[in-house]
Structure 1
Amino acid sequence: MDQTVFELLERNREHAETFDTRFDDVQDGQRPDAVTVCCSDSRVLQDQMWGNERPGQLFTCANIGNRVIQQTADGEVVSGDVLYPIAHTGTEVAIVVGHTGCGAVTATYDHLIDGLSEPPGIEHSIGLLAPHLRDGVETLPDGLDRDEAINRLVEYNVDRQVEVLRESDDVPDSVTIVGVVYDFQDIYEGRRGEVHVVNIDGTRSVEALRTDYPDIEDRIDRLWEYEP
């Protein structure tokens, strides 16, 4: 067996020793404060980015491209793993977490620009993102290099996923929906690993968001403010 497995099991032993009593209040049920939809990129630390060490606080979902959507026989719907805590555990905050240099956004960009051949599973995931990013690719400002284009599309993808949640009849209006970008590539001003708020309940204007949420104005930022 690969040594990695042994190392992971040893770290789990340490985890179990540390967390032994932290499950006392959630063994029989959960009422998470928020559902987070992150990219499954190994550099995106879903709980650590929020400093979370409390079981039951966050309902974490992950897939390539931080998608809130899935395809069914009846068409595109909000993914069940995202919807479950909203529908069944009283969760009233949903956070879509994109990240700088996203490989799924990059692959979708390449697919829309040049076409792309991937294994069927990856192709399916890219196919879910592509319709939502197509207009963004066409709207990108002239003169951007590849990395600049990708990181603007990261924001655009977060906006589109927020929009899907806001427009879904399955997501109550009472749910606060936030879009953020996790930066570990020095793209935004700030420390590596900081989360930058780019969208709250569909509002994308940095000026409007900073006016409405002055307590977090230093965490609100965008690379790209585009016309709808």
Structure 2
Amino acid sequence: MSRLLAELLRRNETHVERFQSRFGEVQDSQHPEVVTVCCADSRVLQDHLWGNEEPGRLFTCSNIGNRVVQRTRGGTIVSGDVLYPLVHAGSELVVVVGHTGCGAVTATYDHLTGGSTGSDGTGDEPPGIEHCVDLLADYLDAGVAALPDGVDRESAVNRLVEYNVDRQVDSLLDSEDVPEDVDVVGVVYDFQDVYDGRRGEIHVVNVAGETDVAALRAAHPEVAGRVDRLWEY
């Protein structure tokens, strides 16, 4: 532990050298333009994937499965982590960021199809992980049922990554707590060559609930080259 911590602190010195002069305008408040909801996967470099080096520009939320929802006694609602910058900091855009090969989606797919989800092969998980899988299962159950016949596990998971992004976008669009003037977009971060692009590319799969690739490319020609989907169900 001490070796790892020492290494982190050494790398922080590099960070300090680069960023110590960049916090002047955000000392007392923040007004991020964009909220990103990413999967808390170590391979998803939340600020780096956008090339962001500006403190105060992105409000980054992360959890396994890039969920925008949480459960309460009153039901499932949009998470306060996501709502806070929209309600209190004036953020204009929410981007839900799924990624290829998502472990949370894989675990949920295995759970829904009777496969093993536990690391020991028994299917058992600690309650905290089961809670997250159960939350995703509510959204992915219909997607699993709609998968094409004969699709293999890897292809199924990557299709469900898109499906999950769509359902999280829907949750934001349907919520009365999300201000009406906030734009909502869903994307997939690909570091596995699934979309036949370059590793690290972001592919737009959903804009304000629209998922038709041709319609999205026509409506957003400035990013048409980045609009793509594996599954138009």
Tell me the distance in 2 between the aligned counterparts of 1:148 and 1:61: 27
The amino acid across from 2:101 in the alignment is: G
Tell me the distance in 1 between the aligned counterparts of 2:180 and 2:30: 22
- SS at 2:25 equivalent: coil
* Partner residue in 2 for 1:82: 82
* Partner residue in 1 for 2:229: 222
* Partner residue in 2 for 1:202: 209
Taking only aligned residues, the RMSD between alpha carbons, in angstroms, comes to 0.8
* Partner residue in 1 for 2:162: 155
Tell me the distance in 1 between the aligned counterparts of 2:90 and 2:54: 18
Tell me the distance in 2 between the aligned counterparts of 1:173 and 1:213: 20
The amino acid across from 1:138 in the alignment is: A
What's the CA shift string for 1:200-227, capped at 9, x where partnerless?
Answer: 000000000000000100000000001x
Tell me the distance in 1 between the aligned counterparts of 2:85 and 2:104: 25
**Does 2:108 correspond to 1:101?**
no
The amino acid across from 1:165 in the alignment is: L
Find the partner of 1:167 among 153, 160, 174.
174
Tell me the distance in 1 between the aligned counterparts of 2:4 and 2:51: 25
Query: Percent identity between the aligned chains?
Result: 65
Structure 2: gaps (5+ residues): 116-122
TM superposition shift of 1:143 = 1.6
* Partner residue in 2 for 1:144: 151
What's the CA shift string for 1:41-61, capped at 9, x where partnerless?
Answer: 000000000000000000000
Q: Which moved more, 1:109-118 or 1:133-142?
A: 109-118
Q: Which moved more, 1:66-75 or 1:108-117?
A: 108-117
Question: Which runs of at least 4 in structure 1 moved beyond 6 Å after TM superposition?
Answer: none
Return the TM-score normalized by structure 1.
0.98
TM superposition shift of 1:22 = 0.3
- SS at 1:28 equivalent: coil
* Partner residue in 1 for 2:3: 3
- SS at 1:25 equivalent: helix
Tell me the distance in 2 between the aligned counterparts of 1:104 and 1:148: 15
The amino acid across from 1:78 in the alignment is: V
Tell me the distance in 2 between the aligned counterparts of 1:16 and 1:83: 30
**Does 2:164 correspond to 1:123?**
no
User: Equivalent residues in 2 for 1:57-76 (5 A)?
Assistant: 57-76=57-76
TM superposition shift of 1:2 = 3.4
Tell me the distance in 2 between the aligned counterparts of 1:203 and 1:224: 13
**Does 2:38 correspond to 1:12?**
no
* Partner residue in 1 for 2:49: 49
What's the CA shift string for 1:132-183, capped at 9, x where partnerless?
Answer: 0000000000121110000000000000000000000001221100000000
TM superposition shift of 1:189 = 2.1
Tell me the distance in 2 between the aligned counterparts of 1:189 and 1:50: 20
The amino acid across from 1:217 in the alignment is: A
The amino acid across from 1:6 in the alignment is: A
Return the TM-score normalized by structure 2.
0.96
Q: Which moved more, 1:11-20 or 1:112-121?
A: 112-121
- SS at 1:12 equivalent: helix
- SS at 1:59 equivalent: strand
* Partner residue in 2 for 1:113: 113
